[in-house]
Amino acid sequence: MRLDKIKSLLTPPLAQTWAQLQPVQRIKTLRSLRRPTRRQAWLAVAAVPAAFLLYVLVLIPFTPSISDIRKARFERPAQVLSSDGKELAVFKWANRDWVKLSEISPSVVDALIATEDHRFYEHHGLDLRRTASAALHTFSGDRQGGSTITQQLARNLYPDEIGRAPTMTRKLKEAITAFKIEALYTKDQILETYLNTVPFLYNAYGIEMAARTYYDKSARALDVLQSATLIGMLKGNSYYNPVLNPERALDRRNTVLAQMVKRGKLDAGRFEQLKKRPLRIDFERQTEPPGPAPHFAQQLRKWLIGWADRNGYDIYADGLVVHTTIDARLQALATQAVTAQANRLQSIANAAWAPRAGWAASKDLVQAFVRETPEYRSAVAAGTPPEAALKHLLADTAFMQALRQQKTRIQAGFIAIDPRSGQIRAWVAAAITRKTPSIMCKARAASRARHSSPLSTAPRSSRARRPTTR
């Protein structure tokens, strides 16, 4: 039951009780409230913390369960295997590589604790002094955050259950979850989980992916300047983005270094030298490897999410193993064959549609292609005469080159089905771009869906049942 439903159930009975009182009784009630006895005063004082405690107890069922919190540290994404036992795909919740705390540079941990929660080892999930100080500053108009590392971890792990709204309910749910985390994890486990789950933009989750994205190195190799820059992003990833906002990121980096000096993690003399150094990054987006059967894995992921929802599994945490009929050797050969043939066909298409051949501005088909583009339609909608808009776009070399590549790109697909059983042994689609699935593959797969399925699913745990789609 949702919390707002509980409130809606409690409010009508109270109003009904008041409405049932006689006028004399209402007057006596109001007089007793104006001149309370000592007992009534004590009861009124005790009612405030009692009501608060009751509200906290009501919130507990609406926070993550102990079993959910236990799973948070153990990343067990669904694994997809071929019929011969080769890995085809791993369905991770985010683009990250989990690393142990011992594999993370000590300067990262020092910067994190000094900046975000310097009493981390002294509290049990909630820093009362920091919370009280943040509340006083907020009431005075200077809003400050008072969340500990454990509270931030709770918010990062369970954004749906806890929420992001700046309300008392959210803070209480955050604190309750933080207490649960502290009861289950050691301090080092909390730090490890936090550093492996926090986002750093550009689809990079965790300190390892952040180190590769911004510095092209592992988390173990980060120096103190690089550590301070990444930890500084935690206050606001976009605002302190070192790629788009280098000046802000530099100021924030030096603030983190100053906090490290204040907490005894960095020498003051070295700080004076380090703060003068420029912000140097080696940025490169980290993309997930597509795997040997990317189109098949994409279609399978959609199906598996629905199956897991219906059967009470989590594809990112329950360690599911998906056994498929795909043959890894045939899949590799099919991919090579489709790629080679598509490249040959693309060469023919490039020659046929070269600027001096079929792709000329005077061709009616090329002009029709231009009229179909959003750029042309936007220009006409803005009041530009159609002929003028067409002439302008035809003269735009970069636009016409991009349009030619888009319209003449070859899409190829291939599917291999065992005629004896109807099982799919290899599946390749859109071998050139891997963006648009092949219509042929989709149609042929759909025609076979009624007779066979290329997969079966089972949890890794031997105690769990093994459902199958065959």
Would you state the pLDDT for residue 143? 54
What is the structure's pLDDT at 448?
36
Residue with the bigger pLDDT between 97 and 435: it is 97
Helix pair angle (364-371, 386-394), 10° resolution: 110
Write out the E strands in 73-181. 78-81, 87-91
pLDDT at 26 over 80: no
- Quickly name the fold that domain 101-274 has: Penicillin binding protein transpeptidase fold (1.10.3810)
> Residue 24's pLDDT band (boundaries 50, 70, 90)?
low
- The helix/strand/coil state of 31 is helix
Q: Which of 202-211, 296-305, 432-441 is the least confident region?
A: 432-441
What is the average pLDDT value for the chain, to the nearest integer?
Answer: 81
* Range with the poorest average pLDDT among 19-28, 332-341, 400-409: 19-28
Is the confidence at residue 410, as pLDDT, over 80?
A: yes
Q: State what percent of residues in the chain have pLDDT above 90.
A: 46
At 34-74, the pLDDT tens digits run: 666 776 666 666 666 777 677 667 777 777 777 777 777 77
pTM assigned to the model: 0.66
pLDDT of residue 445: 34
For the stretch 231-256, pLDDT in tens is: 999 999 999 999 999 999 999 999 99
Range of lowest pLDDT (6-10, 186-190, 249-253, 320-324): 6-10
Q: What is the pLDDT of residue 61?
A: 74
Least confident of 38-52, 204-218, 289-303, 360-374: 38-52
CA distance 180 to 170: 15
Question: pLDDT band for position 1 (50/70/90)?
Answer: very low
Band (pLDDT 50/70/90 cuts) for residue 378 is very high
CA-based Rg of the chain, rounded to a whole angstrom?
A: 31
Q: What is the pLDDT of residue 291?
A: 86
Least confident segment among 76-90, 161-175, 350-364: 161-175
pLDDT band at 329 (very low <50, low <70, confident <90, very high): very high
Residue 439 has pLDDT above 60, yes or no: no
Could you please report the per-residue DSSP string of 278-341?
---------PPP--S-HHHHHHHHHHHHHHHHHHT--TTTS-EEEEES--HHHHHHHHHHHHHH
Domains of the chain by residue range: 3-62, 101-274, 354-407
pLDDT at 263: 94
| Percentages (nearest 5) of helix, strand, coil residues in the chain | 55, 5, 35
Q: What is the pLDDT of residue 430?
A: 62
pLDDT of residue 20: 59
| Sequence-ordered alpha helix ranges (H) in 149-245 | 149-157, 159-162, 168-184, 187-197, 206-215, 224-232
Whether 126 has a pLDDT exceeding 70, the answer reads yes
- E strand or H helix that includes residue 402: helix 397-407
Residue 2 has pLDDT above 70, yes or no: no
Q: For the chain, report the end-to-end CA distance as a whole number of angstroms.
A: 37
